[in-house]
């Protein structure tokens, strides 16, 4: 069965709650696809204040507070309803292994970041985080699984246990598990986990 047939046969919500009130940050983690991240009302309903887009082939115009007096030749720019981060991953082979590790650190840093009290920083509330890609099935699953495994090893002792948890919460059917996430991304995530643990043992990074 092709990927498109699987998607039609096993539809899923635009966004899915993966973890609630995570220790250390006390926010919820969601995973979603392009329709979920583009739904401003849905983001507001779930108090999502941080968006991490993992897809290199998906761009989203989240500008809400547009810069005044923007020249006509410039694209729309300004501030959004959320704090927006992006790491452009390919859905499959072709990513440098460091990009997956960078995705973990970007997700964690997005949660840690403290914004100053300035008018130009319009969204300072912590709120919840949505990690998205085009379908919310592979790239976003990879990054969140790596985050859960590295941050909460007692609960997710392996990357696979984190992926299994996400598959259930994201309502990914067993017929699509062969590509949710893509095997190439799982391999890179396993390597990224090893790299992070080695850095921690050497005294760099964070030890849970």
Task: Output 197 or 73, whichever has higher pLDDT.
Answer: 197
Residue 134: helix, strand or coil by DSSP?
Answer: coil
> How far is residue 47 from each of residues 25, 82, 207, measured CA to CA in Å?
14, 10, 29
Indicate left, alpha or beta for 126 from its phi (over 0: left) and psi (-120 to 50: alpha): alpha
Per CATH, which fold does 3-201 belong to?
3.90.190
* pLDDT for the residue 2: 63
> How far is residue 132 from each of residues 29, 60, 90, measured CA to CA in Å?
11, 11, 13
H helix or E strand, kind and range, residue 130: strand 128-132
- Give the start-to-end residue ranges of the domains of the chain: 3-201
pLDDT, tens only, 139-159: 999 999 999 999 999 999 999
H helix or E strand, kind and range, residue 131: strand 128-132
pTM exceeding 0.85: yes
């Amino acid at each position: 069965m092709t990927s498109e047939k699987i998607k039609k046969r096993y539809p899923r919500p635009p966004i899915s709650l993966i973890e609630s009130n995570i220790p250390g940050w006390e926010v919820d983690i969601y995973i979603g696809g392009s329709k979920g991240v583009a739904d401003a009302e849905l983001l507001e309903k779930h108090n999502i204040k941080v968006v991490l887009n993992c897809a290199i082939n998906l761009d989203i115009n989240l500008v809400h507070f547009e810069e005044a007096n923007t020249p006509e030749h410039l694209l729309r720019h300004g501030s959004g309803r959320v704090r927006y981060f992006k790491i452009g991953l390919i859905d499959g082979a072709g990513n440098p292994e460091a990009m997956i590790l960078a995705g973990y650190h970007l997700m964690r840093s997005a949660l840690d970041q403290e914004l100053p009290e300035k008018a130009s920083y319009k969204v300072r509330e912590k709120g919840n985080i949505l990690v998205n890609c085009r379908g919310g099935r592979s790239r976003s699953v990879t990054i969140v699984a790596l985050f859960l495994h590295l941050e909460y090893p007692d609960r997710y002792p392996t990357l696979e246990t984190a992926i299994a948890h996400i598959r259930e919460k994201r309502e990914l059917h067993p017929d699509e598990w062969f590509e949710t996430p893509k095997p190439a991304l799982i391999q890179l995530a396993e390597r990224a986990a090893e790299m992070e643990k080695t850095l921690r043992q050497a005294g760099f990074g964070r030890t849970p």
